[in-house]
């Protein structure tokens, strides 16, 4: 039954891409509905602690729409594999721009604002960039307080990793000089998604997967262990693996009411 539904879903999706290519605007909306579960699942990964789920879902939906508009069915790549990084990219950009900011204590924030306003006035009056001493004198504070506020203000201003390391045109982008791609981040996400998917399997399915991949038993050995035929074990393993694949890599099938 699951294989039949998966085949029907793929056929429906192929038909929707054909209609979209022919200019059918309704097909775009149906593609969004078809893959909405993927957007919900990815938004749920970051919900709760940093941002409300509803806000993240809107961002995920924007990523889904972008993926639909940019996807080329003729390239042979599955849409879910194309859409997933696109949606995750939108979510991470949103969190970076709206949430993951460097915050400084309120007194330093206010002092930095005062210095910023005084800098402009003093530059006009003096005809040159004011020194730390001149700023401190105007605000009637210690020079160390000025330096502390300036440093705090500078620390909260993020520098793009694409910015050159020097002001000359030949300066290499900062991203080329710091760190490297960390594969463990992707593994953590994959493990979390797999753990969630395993939780949706029945006990029998989880037990068979453990025997096959945890204890590394052959299908014949598993059949002897559980008292079933090897064909039965093969079919149950295939069903369990297809279920995990649907949970991890794609949305749940829709449009199957009444089956």
For residues 85 and 11, membership in a common domain is answered with yes
pLDDT of residue 255: 46
For residues 106 and 93, membership in a common domain is answered with no
Q: What is the mean pLDDT of each run of 10 residues along the chain (259 residues)?
A: 54 85 86 91 75 87 91 84 87 68 69 79 78 90 87 63 55 62 71 80 87 89 92 91 80 45
For residues 19 and 74, membership in a common domain is answered with yes
Q: Whole-prediction pTM value?
A: 0.39
Q: Is residue 160 part of a domain?
A: no
In terms of residue numbers, what domain contains 195? Answer: 183-249
Q: What is the distance in angstroms between the CA of the first residue and the CA of the last residue of the chain?
A: 10
The two tokens of residue 92 are 């991470």
For residues 15 and 92, membership in a common domain is answered with yes
CATH number at residue 191: 1.10.10.10
Q: Is residue 236 part of a domain?
A: yes
Residue in the block written with tokens 């399997």:
201
Q: Is residue 165 part of a domain?
A: no
The two tokens of residue 152 are 């705090």
pLDDT of residue 223: 92
Q: Which residues, 6+ apart, have CB-to-CB distance to 36 below 8 Å? A: 61, 64, 251
For residues 92 and 70, membership in a common domain is answered with yes
CB atoms closer than 10 angstroms to residue 257: 5
Report how many domains make up the chain: 3
């Amino acid at each position: 039954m699951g294989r039949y539904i998966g085949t029907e879903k793929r056929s429906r999706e192929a038909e929707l891409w054909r209609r979209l290519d022919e200019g059918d605007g309704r097909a775009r909306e149906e593609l969004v509905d078809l893959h909405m579960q993927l957007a919900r699942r990815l938004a749920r990964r970051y919900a709760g602690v940093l941002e409300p789920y509803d806000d993240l879902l809107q961002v995920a939906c924007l990523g889904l729409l972008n993926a639909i508009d940019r996807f080329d069915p003729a390239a042979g790549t599955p849409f879910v594999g194309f859409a997933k990084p696109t949606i995750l990219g939108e979510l991470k950009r949103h969190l970076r721009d709206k949430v993951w900011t460097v915050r400084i204590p309120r007194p330093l924030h206010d002092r930095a604002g005062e210095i910023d306003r005084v800098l402009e006035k003093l530059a006009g009056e003096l005809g040159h960039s004011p020194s730390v001493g001149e700023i401190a004198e105007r605000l009637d504070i210690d020079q160390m307080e000025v330096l502390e506020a300036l440093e705090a203000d500078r620390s909260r201003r993020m520098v793009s990793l694409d910015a050159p390391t020097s002001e000359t045109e030949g300066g290499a982008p900062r991203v080329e000089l710091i760190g490297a791609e960390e594969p463990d981040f992707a593994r953590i996400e994959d493990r979390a998604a797999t753990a969630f998917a395993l939780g949706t399997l029945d006990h029998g399915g989880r037990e068979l997967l453990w025997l096959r991949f945890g204890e590394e038993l052959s299908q014949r050995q598993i059949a002897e262990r559980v008292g079933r035929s090897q064909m039965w074990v093969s079919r149950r393993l295939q069903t369990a693996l297809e279920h995990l694949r649907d949970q991890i890599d794609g949305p749940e099938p829709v449009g199957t009411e009444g089956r």
